[in-house]
Every structure is written in structure tokens, then in C-alpha cells.
Chains A and B, each alone.
Chain A
Amino acid sequence: MKKILAVLLVLCIAAGILSGCGGGANTPAASGKKKIFVFGDTTFNAENEEPDINPHNAYSGWPCIRYGVGETLMKIADDGTLKPWLAKSVTNVNETTWEIVIKDAVRFSNGKKCDAAAVKACLEHLVKVHERAAGNLKIASMKADGQKLTIVTSEPNPILMNYLSEGYGCIIDMETGIPKNGCVVGTGPFVATEVVTDNHVKLVKNTNYWDGNVKIDEVTVRTISNGDTLAMALQSGEINGAYGMAYASYPLFENNKFKFSSIQTSRCFWGMMNFHKENPGYRIMSDPAVRKAIAMGINKKGFVDVLLKGYGYTAAGAFPDSFAFGKGINTVSYDPGQAKKILQEAGWVDTDGDGIREKDGTRLAIRWLTYPSRQELPLLAESAQATLKDIGIEVQINNTKNHNSIRKDPQAWDVWVSANVNAGLGDPQNFFDTYCLDSSIKNSGGHHSDNLEKLAVQLRGAFDPGERAKIAVKMQQELLDDNSYFFCSFLRMSMIMQANVTGLTAHTCDFYELTADLDIK
């Protein structure tokens, strides 16, 4: 009897394993005539301020534009220049006046024509509710006349169109508004039918799409924040494509069953220091010698070559040197010996022999705040923990999904390390506006520099790209000279997909993932 039970048990387990291994291959053959595409994404979650696809909410414009629900007036090409998208033409009449002509063919997914009045209504709502848009766009007034929209800004805004190409610039139908289920109506190739935060978005083909035939009938974007789950889902055929795969898993897909779409991006792994006086670590972080030692104690090359497996390149400043505003930056290099000397001269000495330095009773320990959905950030943290320990700095890592709320507590961290697309809009201003200035909503470390503020004013008023680049270089140098920020590397971003998937292409700005070109052969 026991033997029979054992055999039955083994059979049940085997059946369970086999059924688990059976992939949900969503190929056209497997699902009848409909073409169904399932996409796995590590970053579509509240942790990244992307709780839904409403472009007027936090960073939810990113999934809106990435998943082909919304489109912007201009599109950012891979060389960082702007190309018309919903807009037919844009004219900068004078420093504060812009005339935008919307393409006649553009329709929302509900069939309604997208004219200047619709765009105006959308932008009015955007600047009213969005935390960054009003400050970025500086719109004083708008006038709609047929397909022509005239925008007047309250002050010169050379990069108005760049900002309107950000995710939050997706044009949505405000007559439909922001439905309770979060399924906004855009102009893109896909229509959202279901949004569940931290779980999935369901999309269907936009039959009214204005810019060609959409080849995929249904799309599900699944939030898979765990890299292992993502890798196994792609291997088993549960998903057809993946974004945010850990580099360590790449060898699994380097075969003829899968293919990669890769591109160098301006997504930068970088850190900011906390200068708030109420921070318990203020005494440490306000010491220029400590900041310099931290900057010199991070092995950027090792991080890129080994932990990113070469899928990136070391950073000097905030932007890649492929941009004019990323060239000619001077920064310290990895030099543990020099870092030790600097700390020693500043009075930080290991008095108790535990390998960590002290000064006037203060132990040289820093709290390193980061988050896991960018799979390489914890690796950077642990790498820095070891190299900084070598020079006598203890690093206490807080790797948490909750980093965005902790970041706002000036007493809870000393260094916040993040991964952001710093030049995604093809211009440097957004980075400074967001992270480095007194008015920046994400200057969580309370950094202030009079000189930087003056340069920011100059940058905001400069229309000439060459002049803007020069100012941006000076601004980066300002950040680097006092080591209040450090920049480790830029990412070579890849999307991995099954070999029969076409039209899933990586872009430098990290937008435009699911487009009308997407297909499964």
C-alpha cells in the first residue's frame, strides 16, 4: 500500500512539474488567429513612481509612451534631436512664443480627432496637476485654432518641445478624462483595457490608429520586478520579450532562440550626497575630504567591466560624451591610495584598529540608499561597500523598494544612488532642474551652490545648442568639483525577445518600446 502511495505521489509531483514547465507560448499558432504579445518589465511599478499609465501622474507617462498608449508632439531620435510626431511643424516665433501645427490625420483611439483644442485641454490639465510639468514648461497661455496651437511661455524656455516629448507630454483625450480604471485614451497604436498597479497592463490594438496598421492584436505587459522570474518567464515562453533583464542572465539568451535589441543610453548610475543639517551624518557628508574620498573610492571600471559585463561605459559627468554637453568633464578617478591620504590629512584616522576611520569620536560610516528594480544598483552598492571599506569608510546599504519615501526623509540616508536617463530628452537641463537646484523637486540631499544657480539661469535662457552645452559642462564641473554628486557609468540597454519577434527596438531615450511595428512572425 505504501509503495502504491509513493508511486502515486511521485506521479502527481511529476505531473505538477511538467504542467509548470509547459510554457504559455503566446504565438499566433498557439492562440488562434489573434496575435498576442506578452512583455515582461522590471520597472513598471510604484517603486519607480510608475503606478499606472496616466501621463499626468508622477512618472506614469513613461509606461504610457513606452507601451504605445500615448504619443507626444515631437519624438526624440536616437541622436537626441527632435523629430515631428503628432506635430506637423513647430515654429519658435520668438523667445516665448511657439506655434505648433498638429497633423491632420491624428485621432485618439476612441476615434475622436486630435486637434489643437484637444492638445490645449490636455496640456492645461497637465500643468495643473503634475508635480514637474508646470515648472518645466512655464506655459503662460495657450491658444487653439483648428490644428494650430500657440503656446506662450512666461519666460524664455528653449527646451519647451523637449519637455513636451517627455512621457508626461503624451496627449490624451481630456473629454474622456482620467477614468477610474486608469485607462486613459491616447493616440498610440495600443489601447489600455486594464491597469493593475505592480501587476500588469492589458492592451488591445488601436483600430483607429492614425499612423499605419498595428500588427499585434493584444498585449499584456507584466510587472516582473524579480530578475530571476523575468529570465525564467522568457525562457519558458511565458513572455515574448523582456525589459530590464539582469546582465548575469544574458548568457541564457545568447542563442538562436532569442535576440537582443541593444543601444547605448544616457541612463546613468549616479549618486547624490545628503547635505541636510538635520541629518545625523551631516558632519561626515559636509566634509569635502570625505566626499572626495568616496568619489575616488568607487571602482567604476570594475563595475562596468565585470558587474555590468561590459554592457555600459564609465561616466565622467552626468551625460555621455557622445553629446556635446558631455565632453570635456574633469573628474577624479579610482585611486584608493590617494583617497586614504586625503582622509588621513583631513584627520580621519582608524584609532581602534577595526579598519574604519574615526574623527573626534565620529565613525566614518555612511548610509547608502538604493533600490532593487534596477538590478545593477545593489551590485554597485556591494562593490562600493568593499572598495570604500578598503579606504576606511563603512557603507551600510539600504536596498529597498521604498527608497522614494525614505529619500524624502533628510535624516534617513547619506548617499542616494539611482539610475536615471539623464539626457533622455536630448538636452541637459532636465537633469539639473530635477535633481540639483534649489527649486528641484528631487534635490533630496539639499544641495546648494550659488554658482550652479547662476549657471542654471543662464542655461534656461540660452537657445544656442553650443552655448547650452558649454554651460552644462560648467554645471557638471561645479557638481564634480565639490564631489556633491558622483557619476559611475552609463548603461547599454537591451531588450531581449524570442527570435520570432520583430519591431521591438531599444532607443537611447528609453521610450517607444511597443509600437505599431511590433510583430510576431
Chain B
Amino acid sequence: MNRPVTVRVQKVKKNRIRTRLFFFLFLAVILVLVSFFADQIVPYDPYAQDLGLSRQPPSPAHFMGTDQYGRDVFSRVVVGAKASVFSTLVLVCVTSVFGTVTGTLCGYFGREIDSVVMRISDVCLAFPGLVFALAIAALLGGGMSNAVIALAVISWPKYARVARGQTLALKNSDFVAAAKLAGDNSAQMILRHILPNILGPILVTAMLDIGTMMMELAGLSFLGLGAQPPVAEWGNMMSGGRSMLQTYPWLVLSPGVAIFLTVVTFNLLGDTVRDYMDPKNSGS
């Protein structure tokens, strides 16, 4: 008696999640497209100084006002998306791929390689993340690429742990044993049977990580260890304008709102992807 109702409820729920997924995916795609075509769509050169237009409040000519060097803030925010969004996506891609491969190999082969790699990951996880990233970035020097490297060094163990745990669970399952009996070698086992079955949790972790990584990259730039002047990057822009928060608030609010909206979009997208992939929400 209850079964048809449950299925219907589940289907409605699944449809809602799907709608949400498309909505946030749409927003995320727009953000990525804006980042990609930033140079083409900005109304002004984001690096051209015009001291005569210094610190102009928002107006029709300058949608988000101008900064102390007379640069158009809207143009800098749009171009800053390129640095912020792309760097974050590259960072998440690199760390998730590296962490997944490492974790899968450790989980599958075990023994010494597993012990060594997991102890290394323990070391990385033992430090507070951002503090460790600060130390690495300070060692490497300023620059967006160095900030990405610093965050990559502290971020891969998370994926390695997830991938290893999933691999250990799958390694002893019946279908893997059957594949072994069918004569698959280790590479085939990992590529055909393990990786496809652990990608779900990895993808969810990666999606949820985008917002965090974006905040951390912006944080490093804010502290002067990421993008360097005059590069337009949101954290860097907030740092440059922070002394004028009370007098010229648009200098901080514009990149701040950009970070907020982008992080919220990717976080909600990550949540929705997680919900979508959750078997409990399956209507079938």
C-alpha cells in the first residue's frame, strides 16, 4: 500500500534535485564562460590607469566604480574571475586526479607503498591546511601559480583517503573477484572496475571542494602570497581596497560579492550533485 506513494515521493524529490542541479550547473557554466571570455566582454582595460578617475563611486559609466588608480572595478572583477575561477578549477582537477590515482594505487596494492604514501598524507593532514599553504607559498614566493602549488600540496591527501577507502571496500567484492577470475590484470582491474565505481564520491568531494579552494586561493592573494599587483584577482583586489572599506566601500564589496556568489554557486552545485548521486534519492 505504501510502496507506490514512496516511489512517487522519491520521483518528485529526484525531479526537484535534477531541476536544482540544472539550475546551479547553468550558473556555474555562466561563471566559467564569463571567465573564459572575460577579456572580450570587459568594457574597459582592467589594467589601464587613469588617475583623473580615481575612486569614482558606482555610476552608469563605471558599474562598480573605479579604484584608486582610476581602473574600472567591474572590468577588474570580470577579469579577476579568470584568475580566481580558472585557478580554482585547475587546482581541484590536479589535486583530485593526483589524489585519486595515488589513493587507488595504495588501496589496491597495499603493503609498503600504501604505508609510505599514507604516512606522507598524514604529515600533510597534521598541519592546519591554510597555515601549511602559507608556509609553502612563502617559501616559493608570490604568484598565482605558486599559490596553486601550495594549496595542491595540502589538498591531495583528502582525495587519496577517499579513493583508498573506496578501493579497499571494492577490492574484496564479488564482482572484482569475478573479474580477476576472468583474467583481468591489475591495470584493467583499476581502470575498468575500481575507478568507475569510486568516481561518484570523488566527484562529490571535488565539487564541494571548489568553494573552499576558491576561498583559500583568495585568502593567499589577500595576504600577498597569491596573485601579485597589478594582476586582477578577487583576493588581491580586496587586499588593495581594504584600507578604504569605510571611505570607498565598493573597492572591497565588488570583489567580495563576486567571491561570495561564486563560492555559494559552486557549494550549492556540489551539494546538489551529492544529493543527486545519493542512492536514497533514487526513484528507480
- A interface with B by C-beta (< 8 Å): 227-228, 231, 246, 248-249, 251-252, 299, 302, 305-307, 375, 378-379, 381-383, 385-387, 389, 397, 399
Q: For A386, what are the chain B residues with a Cβ–Cβ distance below 8 Å?
A: 47-49, 69, 230
Q: For A379, what are the chain B residues with a Cβ–Cβ distance below 8 Å?
A: 68
Total interface residues on B, CB under 8 Å, equals: 20
How many Å lie between the Cα of A68 and that of B270 in the bound state? 60
**Minimal beta-carbon separation of B232 from chain A (angstroms):** 12
Given known pairs A299-B51, A306-B54, A383-B49, the reply for A252 and B229 (CB within 8 Å) is no
How many Å lie between the Cα of A299 and that of B49 in the bound state? 11
**Minimal beta-carbon separation of B72 from chain A (angstroms):** 14
List residues of B (190-248) whose CB comes within 8 Å of A's CBs. Answer: 224, 228-230, 242-248
B51 touches A246 (CB 8 A): no
How many Å lie between the Cα of A510 and that of B172 in the bound state? 77
B243 touches A246 (CB 8 A): yes
Q: Which chain A residue lies CB-closest to B224?
A: A399
Chain B positions 20 through 39: 1 when the CB is less than 8 Å from some CB of chain A, otherwise 0: 00000000000000000000
A385 touches B229 (CB 8 A): yes
The 18 sampled A-B contact pairs (Cβ below 8 Å) are A228-B242, A228-B243, A231-B246, A248-B243, A248-B248, A252-B246, A299-B51, A306-B51, A306-B68, A306-B70, A307-B51, A379-B68, A382-B69, A383-B51, A385-B229, A386-B69, A387-B49, A399-B224
A249 touches B230 (CB 8 A): no
How many Å lie between the Cα of A94 and that of B47 in the bound state? 61
Q: Which chain B residue lies CB-closest to A250?
A: B247
3 A-B pairs with least C-beta separation? A302-B51, A306-B51, A386-B49
Q: Which chain A residue lies CB-closest to B54?
A: A306
How many Å lie between the Cα of A378 and that of B240 in the bound state? 10
B247 touches A249 (CB 8 A): yes
Q: For B224, what are the chain A residues with a Cβ–Cβ distance below 8 Å?
A: 399
**Minimal beta-carbon separation of A302 from chain B (angstroms):** 4
How many Å lie between the Cα of A252 and that of B68 in the bound state? 16
B51 touches A305 (CB 8 A): yes
Q: For A246, what are the chain B residues with a Cβ–Cβ distance below 8 Å?
A: 243
**Minimal beta-carbon separation of B275 from chain A (angstroms):** 21
Q: A248-B247, A306-B51, A397-B228 are in contact. List 19 more A-B contacts (CB 8 A).
A: A228-B242, A231-B243, A248-B244, A249-B247, A251-B247, A252-B246, A252-B247, A302-B51, A306-B52, A307-B69, A379-B68, A382-B229, A383-B49, A383-B51, A386-B47, A386-B49, A386-B69, A387-B49, A397-B229
B54 touches A227 (CB 8 A): no
**Minimal beta-carbon separation of A402 from chain B (angstroms):** 11
How many Å lie between the Cα of A305 and that of B53 in the bound state? 12
**Minimal beta-carbon separation of B106 from chain A (angstroms):** 40
Q: For B247, what are the chain A residues with a Cβ–Cβ distance below 8 Å?
A: 248-249, 251-252
How many Å lie between the Cα of A386 and that of B49 in the bound state? 7
A383 touches B69 (CB 8 A): yes
Q: For B229, what are the chain A residues with a Cβ–Cβ distance below 8 Å?
A: 378, 381-382, 385, 397
**Minimal beta-carbon separation of A503 from chain B (angstroms):** 28
Q: For A387, what are the chain B residues with a Cβ–Cβ distance below 8 Å?
A: 49
Given known pairs A307-B51, A386-B49, A387-B49, the reply for A248 and B228 (CB within 8 Å) is no
Chain B positions 48 through 77: 1 when the CB is less than 8 Å from some CB of chain A, otherwise 0: 110110100000000000001110000000
**Minimal beta-carbon separation of B224 from chain A (angstroms):** 8
Q: For B70, what are the chain A residues with a Cβ–Cβ distance below 8 Å?
A: 306
Q: For A399, what are the chain B residues with a Cβ–Cβ distance below 8 Å?
A: 224
Q: Which chain A residue lies CB-closest to B246?
A: A252
Q: For A306, what are the chain B residues with a Cβ–Cβ distance below 8 Å?
A: 51-52, 54, 68, 70
Q: Which chain B residue lies CB-closest to A248?
A: B244
How many Å lie between the Cα of A256 and that of B244 in the bound state? 21
How many Å lie between the Cα of A249 and that of B246 in the bound state? 8
Chain B positions 236 through 277: 1 when the CB is less than 8 Å from some CB of chain A, otherwise 0: 000000111111100000000000000000000000000000
